[in-house]
Structure formats: C-alpha cells, structure tokens
C-alpha cells in the first residue's frame, strides 16, 4: 500500500487550458467521462464491498437466521458469546501462532534464500522458479497434497514411520500436532513469495554502499547487519505486512487439511466464521466475527501505514 495522497495532491495542470472541452454536448468532455466511467466501479464497489461491511456491523447486533428482516435485537450479546467461545479463543491463538511462525521462520528463511540467490550463481533462476512454484498453486490443492503427505495410511509420513520402524503417526487427527502440521504447509506455500519480494528489494539496492563497506573491511555478517538489513527496511515491513494479512485470512488451505478439527484445534477466525456463522446460518453471530476481523485488519493497515511513513 503506497501512499497515494501525496500524488493526489499534485495539481493536474493540463486540465486548466482544456476547460473549453468540458461541455456536456461533446463526447469526450469532462462530464461524459465522469458519467460514463465512474458509476460502474462505484456501483459494484458500494453494492458488494462497502454495503455488506456496513450491514455486517448492523447485523452483528441481532439474532437473525437470514430470513425476513432482522428484528431480534440482542445488543452486544453476539460479541459476548464470541469472546467466551472456546473455539474462537483457539482460533485467535492459532491466528497469532501463524503470524508468529510467519515472522520467526518464514520471513528469515525467505531473506536467507534471497541473499543466496542474489549471487550470480549457475542455477539461480531455476531455484527461484522452484521456490515460487507453491505460491501459484491454489491453497485448496496445496492443502490436499499435504493431506496426502501427512496421511497415516498411504502418505509419505506413513512410509517414513515404516522405514524408521515406529508406529505410523496420524498427524492431522492429533489435536496437539495438527496446528503445527498446518504451520509447516503455510511456510511451504508462501516462503517463495516473500523470497521474491526480498530479491526485488536486493536488486533495487545501491551496490556502492556495500562495496564501500567491503573496502572498509566489513565482514559478511557486518555487511548484512549494518548495511543490507537497514536498506531492506521497507521490504521487510512489506513482507511482514503480507504475512500478517495472509495469516488472518487463512481458510482455503485449512478446509482440505482439517476443516478446523480435530475438536476445533485448528480453527482460524475465518474457518470459525464459516463453521459457526455460515453453516448454521447464524447471520448475526457470523457478522460479529466479521466485524472483529475487520477491526483487526483495519488496525493493522493503519499501523503499517504509519510505520511505513515514519521510516521511509
């Protein structure tokens, strides 16, 4: 999210001498373009993005099954029930855990690989391609592939256990292990995207600074710590932002892996919304979940924007 308000403030000088063209009668003046070009986007966006979000806020105060009009006003009850719901608390924890793993494992892994592949070494392009491949696959397909990998009867884990002579693990059926199995898939699927961000960041970097540090006798680690990393600041922030937003939305990958089970141990906010809001047609309750997710996302977006503006 770049800051566009700075651009927007720049006056469009050309519009002044062209005033004469702005007659409604001429096809191509100011008004025809506004009347023809803006409404489709405005209508679609308002109807399917803004209004539903506003309605979610409204419905969240009602107990409603979606038929007729929402009449049973319950105040903040939905939110009260939500935060006392064991599965929702698990979902919040899981979302936090996914964010933590993204920050502690995924982003450093991506940066490490990007640094290696930024060298002009034979095969670098192929490696980049391989690492990016999981990112282009659909989450649903990635989830199903890993469901096979983890399968205790036919999967790769079963074979490894057989080879080691231990009892076959049913990772996804174990309520203590399943979430970690999912975390591994998240890293597998998304590290390549973050690696590409870092490669782009490294390529945009001024190499003279690094050379200067080298001449001054900086070691590899010193160069990384005091030159590369600070210069990559905005890329790191961007990568962290995407990791956080992505983990908050995680749904497609969980459904084929565990569907939020066993016994709700792998719920995320969105799978919880789906299971308890959509499947049971609890519009008020489901909307309350949406509102909580919305508040978290907006807070994050503003925090990111502020930190980006302060530092860049």
Partner 1 sequence: MTDTGSAVPVTVATRVYLYASLLIVAALVLIPLVTTVLGGFKTLGDLRTNPFGLPGEWQVQNYTDILFSQRYWRQMGNSLLIALLTVSLTIIVASMAAFALAHVKFFGANALVNYFLIGLMFPAATAILPLFIRIRDLGLLDTYWGVVLPQVAFGLAVSILLFRNYFRNLPSELFDAAFVDGCGYIRFFWHVTLPLSRPMIATVGIISFVGSWNSYIVPLIMLNTEEKYPWPLGIMVYRGEYSTDWHLILAFITLTIAPTVIAFLLAQKHIIAGLTAGAVKA
Q: Which residues in the 240-299 window bind partner 1 by CB under 8 A? A: 242, 245, 248-249, 251-252, 255-256, 270, 273-274, 277-278, 283, 286-287, 290-291, 293-294, 297-298
Helices in the chain by DSSP H: which ranges? 5-9, 30-45, 51-59, 77-83, 86-101, 107-117, 124-136, 139-150, 156-164, 178-203, 207-215, 220-223, 229-231, 233-248, 254-257, 269-272, 283-311
Distance CA 132, CA 160 (A): 26
The secondary structure element, H or E, covering residue 63 is strand 62-63
| Number of residues located near partner 1, criterion CB under 8 A | 117
Interface pick for partner 1 out of 6, 25, 27, 68 (rule CB under 8 A):
27
Q: Does 72 bind partner 1 (CB under 8 A)?
A: no
The residues in 188-227 that bind partner 1, with binding defined as CB under 8 A, are 188, 192-193, 196-197, 199-200, 202-203, 205, 207, 210-211, 214, 223
Interface pick for partner 1 out of 91, 101, 113, 182 (rule CB under 8 A):
113
The residues in 5-24 that bind partner 1, with binding defined as CB under 8 A, are 5, 7-9, 12, 14-15, 17-18, 21
For the stretch 71-86, what's the b/e string if a residue is b when 16 or more beta carbons lie within 10 angstroms of its beta carbon? eeebeebbbebbeebe
Q: Which residue, 82 or 238, is less far from partner 1 as judged by CB?
A: 238
Q: Which residue, 142 or 178, is less far from partner 1 as judged by CB?
A: 142
Q: Are the C-beta atoms of residues 140 and 253 closer than 8 Å to each other?
A: yes
Binding flags for partner 1, 147-176, as an x/- string (CB under 8 A) = -xx-x-xxxx-xx-----------------
């Amino acid at each position: 999210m770049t800051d566009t308000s700075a651009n927007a403030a720049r006056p469009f000088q050309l519009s002044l001498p062209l005033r004469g063209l702005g007659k409604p009668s001429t096809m191509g003046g100011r008004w025809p373009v506004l009347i023809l070009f803006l409404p489709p986007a405005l209508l679609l966006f308002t109807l399917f993005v803004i209004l539903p979000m506003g309605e979610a806020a409204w419905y969240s105060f009602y107990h409603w099954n979606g038929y007729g009009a929402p009449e049973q006003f319950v105040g903040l009850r939905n939110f009260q029930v939500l935060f006392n719901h064991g599965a929702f608390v698990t979902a919040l924890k899981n979302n936090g855990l996914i964010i933590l793993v993204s920050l502690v494992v995924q982003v450093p892994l991506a940066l490490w690989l990007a640094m290696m592949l930024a060298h002009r070494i034979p095969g670098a392009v192929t490696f980049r391609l391989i690492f990016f491949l999981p990112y282009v696959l659909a989450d649903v397909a990635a989830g199903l592939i890993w469901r096979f990998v983890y399968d205790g009867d036919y999967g790769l884990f079963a074979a490894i256990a057989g080879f080691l002579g231990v009892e076959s693990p049913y990772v996804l059926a174990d309520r203590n292990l399943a979430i970690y199995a999912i975390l591994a898939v998240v890293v597998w699927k998304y590290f390549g995207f973050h690696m590409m961000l870092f490669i782009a960041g490294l390529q945009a970097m001024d190499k003279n600074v690094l050379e200067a540090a080298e001449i001054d006798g900086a070691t590899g680690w010193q160069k990384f710590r005091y030159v590369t990393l600070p210069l990559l600041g905005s890329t790191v922030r961007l990568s962290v932002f995407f990791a956080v937003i992505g983990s908050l939305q995680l749904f497609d990958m969980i459904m084929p892996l565990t569907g939020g089970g066993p016994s709700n141990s792998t719920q995320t906010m969105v799978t919880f919304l789906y299971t308890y809001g959509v499947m049971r047609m609890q519009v008020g309750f489901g909307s309350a979940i949406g509102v909580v997710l919305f508040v978290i996302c907006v807070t994050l977006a503003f925090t990111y924007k502020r930190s980006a503006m302060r530092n860049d």
